[in-house]
Structure 1
Amino acid sequence: MIFDEWKNREIHKGKFFITDGAIDIERWERSNIKILFILKEAYSRTPDSEGEWDLASHLNKGLHIVRGKMWKTVSQWCLGIQKLVSSGEICIFDESYKGNKEFDDALRGSAVINLKKSSGYSSSNNADLLQYVESDWDLLKTQIDELKPDLIVCGSTWPLIKSKISYKKCGEWLYKSDSYYFVDFWHPANQYPNKLNYYSLLSALRLSIQKWKPKT
């Protein structure tokens, strides 16, 4: 994804811009299921200053470098979904992501898109986020189309984008557009226990696996 046009839009000019996308393109291409997370906004310590930072490159350093509970949670979801696709069963929740290469590979084989790519804060405002969806939906749609994900997990973002999509409900928290499956789920930084997050997401996906599972 070339971000030059994005950064030069009026809503982003002169602001700290954070690029995103496939974390590791080679792992993404060979993944048994391409999982895209659509999240709200990435943030920096100086959101109102000029500059640029690449979220995907940062995450590609691995879980031993990346700080914060959220990305560990994302890695648990990724690995659980990958194993669900491979086996058809929900694997037992495993907290041992520290130093576990499976979790690392699962995260690095996924992709992340933030709706708001500049001037991000740790606390999001939906009215503010909707301004960015309205401004940038054409580019967000292009970014999704370039990635061609098998499954899109919306981290508390489905209500913000569903008006832009023609869709039908086809499972628990699952919606189908002409091209993609969207999961309307909690943000991975939510305060619920990791185990509750994991089993809620995987149980819902297992109920509809024959609909969204990639054809081999």
Structure 2
Amino acid sequence: MGYYDDIAVCKTEKKLLELWKTKESVTRSYVDKKQEKTVSINHKNVFISDGIVNEAVWHHQTGRKILYVLKEAYGENEDWDLTEWLLRAKPSSSVWKRVIEWTYGIQNTSENGIAKYSPDIYEHHTELFNHIAVVNLKKSGGKSSSDYGEIEAYALADKEEIKKQLRLIAPDIILCGSTFGALNHVFDNKIRPQGVQCDNWFYYTDMISDSRTLIIDYYHPANYYPALLNYYAVTNIFQQALLYQKEKGEN
């Protein structure tokens, strides 16, 4: 069997990431500000694992399974595991504080009401991290200022692996942090067909699991909007998605 055959039959996320790390390097071209650029993608140099933060909790939880699809993880010198870091992390950066806030809001919002924002959310960061998964489209060489063309080049080069990882995770909800366009391209523009636009920034798809998956198209957690504005934007989008589902009789 070849590399992609092994990916196709892979049964666990751990095994998938181990295989992914062994992938042969490739060079991809992309356009940035009207200039053609190339990037060498070599996971054998540095590979930052990600995915389900706590598998024991994820596979047995009764709450909503939320996956964050982000751009890239920082760190260029050696391999490391984002999920292990999140298990013991105390959030200090705006990225992970936002993830905590948004997770709380989505977990506690219903068709009938939006969970009220509270500064006390941070006290529950360990519990909330235990109930999420995080996938970076670019798994090496992260920078504080992302070149979107490069992110998409990585995503398309690794599209089979990304699709497999998402299907193994099988989330109920995917929140894209400025990554929806790239993720849609990974799935051959079948999440949002060309010409289709949702004014409320959410989509449902059957491309990822046996049940329909809600995908929220939002800004990256590191955006400069105030925390309160972000919180109520995300929770309102989620509530609108629930109401849409109810109207369609899909509950």
* TM-score greater than 0.5 by the shorter chain: yes
Query: Judging changes above 3 Å, is the alpha-carbon distance between structure 1 residues 67 and 16 closer, same or farther for their aligned structure 2 residues?
Result: farther
Match of 1:206 in 2: 239
Partners of 1:67 and 1:212 lie apart in 2 by 35
Provide the residue aligned with 2:83 in structure 1: 56
- 2:74 maps to what in 1? 43
Where structure 1 has 5 or more consecutive residues not aligned to the other structure, the ranges are: none
1:1-216 counterparts in 2 under 5 A?
1=13, 2=15, 3-9=17-23, 10=25, 11-29=41-59, 30-44=61-75, 47=76, 49=77, 51-62=78-89, 65-85=90-110, 88-98=112-122, 100-101=123-124, 103-165=125-187, 166-168=190-192, 172-179=200-207, 180-211=213-244
Paired AA for residue 191 in structure 1:
Y
Q: Secondary structure at the match of 2:175?
A: strand
Quote how far apart the aligned CAs of 1:96 are. 2.3
Give CA deviations for 1:174-213 in whole Å, capped at 9, x if unaligned.
Answer: 1122242211001011111000001011112112214569
Summarize the Cα distance change of 1:202–1:66 in structure 2 as closer, same or farther, 3 Å threshold.
closer
Unaligned runs of 5+ in 2: 1-12, 26-40, 208-212
Aligned twin of 2:34: none
Counterpart-to-counterpart distance in 2, 1:209 and 1:13: 39
What is the letter of the counterpart of residue 180 of structure 2?
Answer: W
Post-superposition offset of 1:35? 0.3
Instruction: Using the aligned pairs only, state the percent identity.
Output: 32
Q: TM-score, normalised by structure 2?
A: 0.75
Contact 2:216-2:237 within 8 A present in 1 as well = no
Secondary structure, aligned partner of 2:162: helix
- Give the length in aligned residue pairs: 206
Structure 1 pair 146–154 and aligned structure 2 pair: CA distance change class (3 A): same
Counterpart code for 2:138: K
Retained in 2: the 8 A contact 1:170–1:176?
no
SS in 1 for 2:152: helix
Which residue identity does 2:135 align to in structure 1? I
Do the aligned partners of 1:37 and 1:112 also contact (CA within 8 Å) in 2? yes
| Residues 156 and 186 in structure 2, CA contact (< 8 A), matched pair in contact too | no
> Structure with the greater relative contact order (CA < 8 A, sep ≥ 6): 1 or 2?
1
Distance in 2, matches of 1:31 and 1:76, equals 19
Distance 1:112 1:41 in 2: 10
Taking a change above 3 Å as real, the CA distance of residues 72 and 25 of structure 1, as seen in their structure-2 partners, is same
2-side partners of 1:120 and 1:17: how far apart?
A: 11
Q: Tell me how far apart the structure 2 counterparts of residues 170 and 191 of structure 1 sit (CA, whole Å).
A: 23
Aligned-pair CA distance for 1:115: 0.1
Q: Within 1, Cα distance between the matches of 2:57 and 2:198?
A: 29
* TM-aligned CA deviation for residue 31 of structure 1: 4.2
CA contact (8 A) 1:23 1:109 kept: yes
CA distance in 2, matches of 1:129, 1:31: 33
Q: Deviations over 1:124-152 (max 9, x none)?
A: 10111111111101000100000110010
1:175–1:181: 8 Å Cα contact kept in structure 2? yes
